[in-house]
Amino acid sequence: MSRSYFHLHLVSDSTGETLINVGRAAAAQYEGVSAIEHVYPLVRSGPQLERVISEIEAAPGLVLYTLVGHDLVERLEAACRETGSPCLSVLQPVHALLQSYLGAQTTARPGAQHMLNAEYFKRIDAMNFTLAHDDGNLPDDLEEADVILVGVSRTSKTPTSIYLANRGLKTTNIPLVPAMPLPVALETVRRPLVVGLLASPERIVQIRQNRLLSLNADDSSLYVDRDAVADEVAASRRLCAKHRWPTIDVTRRSIEETAAAILDLYREHRLKFIAV
């Protein structure tokens, strides 16, 4: 099936992350159609908006926006009508619902969700911790973590850790390497949630081969031997079963999906920990 394309203009007075996520989630539901994204973050003045409008005029398409300034909204919508580009305020339906439910008016504050509050500094602290404890580093600090990820090489431990850190969780990851002992502290941790990341041997071999190819390294070692990798995965399963650590098969999961599953497990884990 041939693939068709359309221009998707994402106009935000903040970072644009909300629009990017909404736009991609919606566009992904249409097979054979791809969006050519034009992202315009931090649009907070008339001159900035005029530059955006000139690009919309050059490549008309669908326009999604999160602007709180009334004058900017009116100008953008007028320009969209002139170019025949359908436009939508992504947050307006949510604002209307909240206003109806709360009986309160909104306060126009561009980027209000990115204020330097306690939650922001919690994420920064989690990111610093996670980067310092990547790939088994500083194993004596495991009890200070919120989440510990264990798994064989190439099961997406590091990117998942960083994603969780951006959600405010101090995360460390420990590689399971044949013939290499685990940190002693891992056997006794109580506070952190320990999760095993698994994948099919075929998928791991494929990723490892690509990794070696990018490094121009020899691919004849046990590192990419299918039977050896299968043994690694089996040993990983046994280890998690022995300690009753929950496991997640990441073979066909994105980083975001894996992290979402871990966040669910973490919420349950914290409830049990608090109840003790």
Domains and CATH numbers, the chain: 4-110 (3.40.50.2300), 117-275 (3.40.50)
Residue 115 pLDDT exceeds 60: no
pTM: 0.74
Whole-number pLDDT of residue 76: 97
Annotated binding site: 151-158
Torsion angle of alpha carbons 126, 132, 133, 135, nearest 10°?
130
Annotated binding site for ADP: 151-158
What confidence tens digit (pLDDT) does each residue in 34-79 have?
Answer: 999 999 999 999 999 999 999 999 999 999 999 988 999 999 999 9
Encode burial over 57-84: b for 16+ CB neighbours within 10 A, e otherwise. Answer: eeebbbbbbbbbbeebbebbbebbeebe
